[in-house]
């Protein structure tokens, strides 16, 4: 029976595994702990060995096997990765859910690989760890699918820094199996003989637990809570009673490579081990498991984005054609290669791409590089850029076209194929790079300014097209010391504008934590602000029947130019609506300060200012928790184009909005823009962050 390729993306779980302190202790004993590391074995001040997380595997493996339809006679545990977010508490329940993410074909007779990813939360609600498991399906290859991306060799070619010996007992599997893996191969002599072994063999994950203990003992003694990531590939079976050694190589700070060998023969049992450790900053933004493309990453800003993403766990395609500043020349592979080497030296994962963004084929190839190397694409940073500065009177069409081709066409050529993939996966973060020259103008840069402002237009529409697929698009206008600015900026200012100051914003916008889509930011030297297209209140100079004269408009020019009370529009329809209705009378647009409007009155009015025309397909419950004496709880249920508001708390809100009463009144009256409220912490959002963006659209006071 063939593998079920439709199983990709189907949810597995949630499974709940209740446990008491005895379970992590039993596991620790199973992987050789004892009086030498009593903290894993004694309920007084018990610490849970982080590799205990793998016990959840035994819950989801049967479903994974059934769903994928794998031939059970041929399965082996190929690779294992655990990313630890928090220490595992000594008791409670582990709640695990995930999905098969890939099925790769190694070819006829060579087997297939089934990759699944899971997340485990504690019954207390905290996310504890993520796991990624690769099952080698020996008998299921040759169905014509894509092969898995090759893992570049990364184990150091030098003697290890540490060798930690251990002697699992001949009876070790009998203890280990009590943690969940009761497969007969590890206990039943006859079964083991039928499977081709002299006697029952060790569980690979038992040896894995020995290695985890050895790594902690050597690198973070007494502090298992500092383990951050444990990844490896299983190589060969091991017979119980055979002595082993965990070989450890130190890598970049907080990182080590490891391998387990049979101590007598040197045979490799577990290979390609990576261990990351160190204090985890609370709520650190990480990109583990994500794959990113950074275009123009061979130098300047792009290089820093690529390095920073990789340091935080992303796998990165470093794209750069390595050309001259004006885009001339054949290009050189060196620019991208150097940055890939830098990332690898830090223990990160990266591959180079030398294609130009400025052709459709180039764009396709860059995206293909990510999918072929990493099997996924979550983040795209459109950053490649060139300059050909000239005033318009001196500008040749070739200067215009070359600049447009890299910045504007290039973003289209790479974003198109990336977006198609992200839409399928229902997740994506896209960054476009604009410039102050585009937003505000700069003498001698008409080609560049036009292309850069074109990118803002691209974002405005992509924000709408990506919305329902979890794809967010934001735009950055950086200012940084790079070869593009070395002869433009004064030298002392140049010194102070390291690209590293821009990268934190770009990383945040690329993260799961960022709820914002469709915004433009200026960023440089530690200063950040949002730039936006706004429209003034304007003036209605005609009754809609009489065509106004130019003379009348000349008279009314001050009114046309007025920007007091300027506002943004979410999309063109909204802007058109505002034009057709004309300027709102001031009193209605914003309740005057000190007016008698109350929070309760706002909620009373909510159904009247609800815009049913904007609510097609919307099904949400907004819970409002307004703090302060004038506050309270209200919830709005929006369903089937209608809005019902009730005082109190809803059982299962989609999104919860928390604000102080005064801020809330300012927000609803348009005095406090939602984005500003959010970024200044006045507006706190829980639950589905994306849905909160609907509020501005659904209600118009
Ligand atoms: P940079 O010149 O150091 O880096 C740009 C990189 O893009 C170069 O390595 C170049 O080889 C690569 N590239 C050029 N054409 C390419 C193509 N067709 N395909 C693939 N790669 C290509 O410049 P910098 O300053 O790091 O610029 C990055 C982005 O930031 C650009 O989009 C630029 O317009 C923008 N920007 C930079 C500002 C600054 O102050 N540095 C100001 C405003 C915008």
Q: Are residues 335 and 225 part of one domain?
A: no
Alpha-carbon span 459 to 233, nearest angstrom: 41
What is the CA(229)–ligand 1 centre distance, in A? 34
Token pair for 359: 């052709």
CB 506 within 8 A of CB 431: yes
Instruction: Confirm whether 284 is domain-assigned.
Output: no
Please name the residue that has the structure tokens 């009754």: 543
Q: Are residues 49 and 67 part of one domain?
A: yes
pLDDT at 591: 40
Q: Is the CB of 484 under 6 A from ligand 1?
A: yes
Which of 285-289, 349-353, 404-408 is least confident?
285-289
Say which residues have a Cβ less than 8 Å from residue 373's Cβ, sequence separation at least 6.
149, 291, 315, 317, 351
Which of ligand 1's atoms lies nearest the C-alpha of 481? 41
- pLDDT level of residue 584 (50, 70, 90 thresholds): low
Q: Are residues 403 and 320 part of one domain?
A: yes
What is the CA(411)–ligand 1 centre distance, in A? 12
Alpha-carbon span 409 to 359, nearest angstrom: 8
Q: Are residues 203 and 117 part of one domain?
A: yes
Report the pLDDT averaged over residues 448-477: 96
Nearest to 92 by CA among 60, 63, 56: 56
Alpha-carbon span 654 to 652, nearest angstrom: 7
Instruction: Confirm whether 285 is domain-assigned.
Output: no
For residue 375, the enclosing domain spans 291-531
Instruction: Confirm whether 593 is domain-assigned.
Output: no
Q: Indicate which residue's Cα is closest to atom 33 of ligand 1.
A: 385
Q: Are residues 539 and 521 part of one domain?
A: no
Count of the separate structural domains present in the chain: 4
Dihedral in degrees, nearest 10, Cα atoms 362, 368, 369, 370: 120
Q: Are residues 241 and 263 part of one domain?
A: yes
Identify the domain boundary among 558, 586, 614.
586
Q: Are residues 165 and 47 part of one domain?
A: yes
What is the CA(295)–ligand 1 centre distance, in A? 9
Nearest to 94 by CA among 104, 85, 106: 85
Return the SS3 of 572: helix
For residue 261, pLDDT over 60 is answered with yes
Dihedral in degrees, nearest 10, Cα atoms 227, 427, 571, 607: -80
Q: Is the CB of 300 under 6 A from ligand 1?
A: yes
Instruction: Confirm whether 181 is domain-assigned.
Output: yes
| 3-class SS string, 15-80 | EEEEECCHHHHHHHHHCCCCHHHHHHCCCCCCCCCHHHHHHHHHHHHHHHHHHHCCCHHHEEEEEE
List the CATH number of the domain containing 679.
3.30.1050.10
Q: Are residues 204 and 273 part of one domain?
A: yes
Helix (H) or strand (E) holding 451: helix 446-466
Say which residues have a Cβ less than 8 Å from residue 68's Cβ, sequence separation at least 6.
3, 4, 7, 100, 103, 114, 135, 137
- pLDDT level of residue 588 (50, 70, 90 thresholds): very low
Determine the straight-line distance between the first and last CA of the chain, rounded to whole angstroms: 61
Instruction: Confirm whether 568 is domain-assigned.
Output: yes
For residue 479, pLDDT over 50 is answered with yes
pLDDT digits (tens, 9 = 90+) for 119-145: 898 887 677 999 999 999 989 999 998
Q: Are residues 342 and 457 part of one domain?
A: yes
Of 329, 363, 385, the one to substitute when testing ligand 1's pocket (max ligand atoms within 8 A of C-beta) is 385
- pLDDT level of residue 103 (50, 70, 90 thresholds): very high
Tell me which DSSP letter residue 673 carries. Answer: -
What does residue 164 show for φ and ψ, rounded to 5 degrees? Answer: -110, 110
Q: Is the CB of 402 under 6 A from ligand 1?
A: no
Alpha-carbon span 533 to 200, nearest angstrom: 70
What is the CA(297)–ligand 1 centre distance, in A? 8
pLDDT at 412: 98
Active-site residue set: 448
Nearest to 516 by CA among 430, 458, 575: 430
What does residue 73 show for φ and ψ, rounded to 5 degrees? Answer: -65, -15
Q: Are residues 333 and 267 part of one domain?
A: no
pLDDT at 280: 65
What is the CA(320)–ligand 1 centre distance, in A? 10
Of 301, 413, 415, the one to substitute when testing ligand 1's pocket (max ligand atoms within 8 A of C-beta) is 301
List the CATH number of the domain containing 554.
1.10.287
Alpha-carbon span 29 to 15, nearest angstrom: 25
Please name the residue that has the structure tokens 């990118």: 455
Report the pLDDT averaged over residues 57-64: 89
CB 561 within 8 A of CB 535: no
Return the SS3 of 460: helix
Which of ligand 1's atoms lies nearest the C-alpha of 452? 34
pLDDT at 593: 36
Nearest to 261 by CA among 281, 246, 280, 240: 246
pLDDT digits (tens, 9 = 90+) for 379-405: 999 999 999 999 999 999 999 999 999
Q: Is the CB of 385 under 6 A from ligand 1?
A: yes
Q: Is the CB of 438 under 6 A from ligand 1?
A: no
pLDDT digits (tens, 9 = 90+) for 608-640: 888 888 888 888 898 988 887 777 888 888 888
Alpha-carbon span 595 to 460, nearest angstrom: 36
For residue 268, pLDDT over 70 is answered with yes
Instruction: Confirm whether 32 is domain-assigned.
Output: yes
Question: Alpha helices, DSSP H only, in 467-541?
Answer: 491-496, 503-509
Q: Is the CB of 383 under 6 A from ligand 1?
A: yes
| Cα–Cα separations (whole angstroms), residue 347 to 79, 120, 227, 238 | 18, 26, 16, 29
Q: Is the CB of 389 under 6 A from ligand 1?
A: no
What is the CA(464)–ligand 1 centre distance, in A? 27
Tell me which DSSP letter residue 7 carries. Answer: G
Q: Are residues 470 and 420 part of one domain?
A: yes
Listing DSSP states for 241-289 in one string gives T--EEEEEEE-STTEEEEEEEETTT--EEEEEEEEEESPPPTT----TT
Nearest to 419 by CA among 364, 350, 351, 374: 364
Q: Are residues 569 and 637 part of one domain?
A: no
Identify the domain boundary among 544, 563, 586.
586
Q: Indicate which residue's Cα is closest to atom 41 of ligand 1.
A: 480
pLDDT digits (tens, 9 = 90+) for 637-683: 888 888 888 888 888 888 888 888 888 887 777 777 777 777 677 88
Q: Is the CB of 431 under 6 A from ligand 1?
A: no
What is the CA(488)–ligand 1 centre distance, in A? 14
What is the CA(405)–ligand 1 centre distance, in A? 13
Q: Indicate which residue's Cα is closest to atom 19 of ligand 1.
A: 356
Q: Is the CB of 449 under 6 A from ligand 1?
A: no
Tell me which DSSP letter residue 467 carries. Answer: G
Please name the residue that has the structure tokens 């507006």: 683
C-alpha radius of gyration, the chain, whole number: 29
Determine the Cα angle at 551 with ends 547 and 557, to 5°: 100
Q: Is the CB of 358 under 6 A from ligand 1?
A: yes
Q: Is the CB of 485 under 6 A from ligand 1?
A: yes
Which of ligand 1's atoms lies nearest the C-alpha of 479? 40
Q: Is the CB of 296 under 6 A from ligand 1?
A: yes
For residue 694, pLDDT over 90 is answered with no
For residue 590, pLDDT over 70 is answered with no
Nearest to 112 by CA among 120, 104, 100: 104
Which of ligand 1's atoms lies nearest the C-alpha of 320? 21
pLDDT at 586: 44
What is the CA(296)–ligand 1 centre distance, in A? 6
- pLDDT level of residue 549 (50, 70, 90 thresholds): very high
CB 39 within 8 A of CB 27: no
Q: Indicate which residue's Cα is closest to atom 29 of ligand 1.
A: 383
Of 294, 295, 296, 483, the one to substitute when testing ligand 1's pocket (max ligand atoms within 8 A of C-beta) is 296
pLDDT at 592: 37
Instruction: Confirm whether 674 is domain-assigned.
Output: yes
What is the CA(233)–ligand 1 centre distance, in A? 38
- pLDDT level of residue 595 (50, 70, 90 thresholds): very low
Q: Is the CB of 339 under 6 A from ligand 1?
A: no
Q: Cis peptide leading into 14, omega within 30 of 0?
A: yes
List the CATH number of the domain containing 22.
3.10.129.10
Q: Which of 10-14, 405-409, 537-541, 610-614 has the highest mean pLDDT?
A: 405-409
Instruction: Confirm whether 592 is domain-assigned.
Output: no
pLDDT at 487: 83
Identify the domain boundary among 238, 253, 277.
277
Question: Which stretches of 123-212 are assigned E, i.e. beta strand?
Answer: 127-137, 162-166
pLDDT at 587: 37
Q: Is the CB of 160 under 6 A from ligand 1?
A: no
pLDDT at 470: 92
Alpha-carbon span 226 to 87, nearest angstrom: 8
List the CATH number of the domain containing 502.
3.40.50.720
In this structure, the number of other CB atoms found within 10 A of the CB of residue 473 comes to 28
Alpha-carbon span 318 to 349, nearest angstrom: 10
Q: Is the CB of 352 under 6 A from ligand 1?
A: no
Of 484, 495, 498, the one to substitute when testing ligand 1's pocket (max ligand atoms within 8 A of C-beta) is 484
């Amino acid at each position: 029976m063939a593998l079920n390729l439709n199983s990709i993306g189907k949810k597995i779980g949630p499974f709940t595994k209740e446990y008491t302190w005895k379970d992590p202790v039993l596991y620790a004993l199973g992987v050789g702990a004892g009086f030498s590391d009593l903290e894993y074995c004694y309920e007084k001040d018990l610490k849970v060995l982080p590799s205990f997380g793998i016990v959840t595997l035994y819950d989801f493996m049967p479903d994974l096997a059934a769903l994928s339809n794998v031939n059970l006679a041929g399965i082996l545990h190929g690779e294992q990765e655990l990313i630890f977010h928090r220490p595992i508490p000594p008791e409670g329940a582990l709640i695990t859910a995930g999905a098969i993410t890939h099925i790769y074909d190694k070819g006829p007779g060579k087997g297939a690989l089934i990759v699944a990813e899971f997340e485990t939360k504690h019954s207390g609600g905290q996310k504890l760890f993520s796991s990624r498991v690769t099952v080698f399906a020996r008998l299921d290859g040759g169905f014509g699918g894509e092969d898995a991306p090759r893992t570049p060799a990364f184990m150091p070619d030098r003697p290890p820094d540490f060798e930690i010996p251990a002697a699992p007992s001949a009876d070790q599997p009998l203890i280990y199996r009590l943690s969940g893996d009761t497969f007969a191969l590890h206990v039943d002599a006859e079964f083991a003989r039928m499977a081709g072994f002299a006697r029952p063999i060790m569980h690979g994950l038992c040896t894995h637990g020995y290695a985890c203990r050895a790594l902690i003992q050597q690198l973070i003694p007494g502090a298992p809570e500092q383990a951050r990531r444990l990844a490896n590939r299983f190589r060969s079976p091991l017979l119980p009673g055979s002595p082993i050694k965990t070989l450890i190589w130190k890598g970049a700070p907080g990182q080590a490579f490891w391998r387990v060998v049979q101590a007598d023969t040197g045979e490799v049992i577990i290979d390609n081990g990576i261990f990351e450790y160190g204090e985890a900053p609370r709520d650190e933004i990480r990109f583990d498991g994500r794959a990113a493309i950074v275009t123009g990453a061979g130098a300047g800003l792009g290089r820093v984005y690529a390095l920073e993403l990789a340091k935080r766990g992303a796998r990165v395609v470093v794209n750069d054609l390595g050309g001259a500043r004006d885009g001339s020349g054949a290009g050189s592979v060196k620019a991208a290669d150097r940055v890939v080497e830098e990332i690898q030296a830090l223990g990160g994962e990266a591959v180079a791409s030398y294609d130009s963004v400025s052709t459709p084929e180039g764009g396709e190839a860059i995206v293909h590089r990510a999918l072929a190397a990493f099997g996924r694409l979550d983040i795209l940073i459109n950053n490649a850029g060139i300059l050909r500065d000239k005033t318009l009177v001196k500008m040749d069409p070739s200067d215009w076209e070359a600049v447009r081709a890299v910045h504007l066409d290039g973003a289209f050529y790479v974003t198109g194929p990336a977006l198609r993939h992200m839409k399928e996966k229902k997740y994506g973060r896209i960054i476009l790079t604009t410039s102050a020259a585009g937003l505000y103008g700069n003498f001698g840069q008409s080609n560049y300014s036009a292309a850069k402002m074109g990118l803002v237009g691209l974002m405005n529409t992509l924000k709408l097209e990506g919305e329902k697929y979890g794809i967010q698009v934001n735009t950055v206008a950086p200012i940084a010391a790079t070869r593009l600015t070395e002869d433009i900026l004064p030298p002392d200012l140049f010194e102070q504008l390291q690209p590293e100051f821009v990268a934190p914003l770009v990383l945040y916008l690329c993260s799961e934590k960022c709820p914002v889509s469709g915004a433009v930011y200026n960023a440089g030297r530690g200063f950040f602000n949002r730039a936006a297209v706004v429209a003034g209140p304007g003036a209605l100079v005609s009754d809609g029947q009489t065509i106004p004269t130019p003379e009348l408009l000349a008279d009314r020019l001050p009114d046309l130019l007025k920007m007091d009370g300027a506002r943004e529009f979410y999309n063109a329809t909204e802007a058109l609506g505002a034009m057709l209705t004309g300027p709102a009378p001031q009193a209605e647009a914003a309740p005057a300060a000190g007016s008698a409007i109350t929070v309760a009155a706002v909620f009373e009015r909510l159904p009247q200012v609800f815009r049913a025309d904007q609510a097609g397909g919307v099904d949400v419950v907004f819970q409002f928790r307004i703090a302060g004496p004038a506050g309270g709880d209200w919830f709005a249920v929006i369903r089937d184009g209608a809005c019902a508001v009730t005082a109190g708390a809803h059982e299962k809100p989609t999104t919860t909005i928390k604000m102080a009463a005064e801020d809330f009144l300012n927000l609803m009256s348009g005095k406090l823009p939602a984005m500003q409220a959010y970024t200044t912490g006045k507006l706190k959002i829980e639950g589905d962050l994306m849905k909160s963006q609907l509020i501005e659209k659904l209600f118009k006071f």
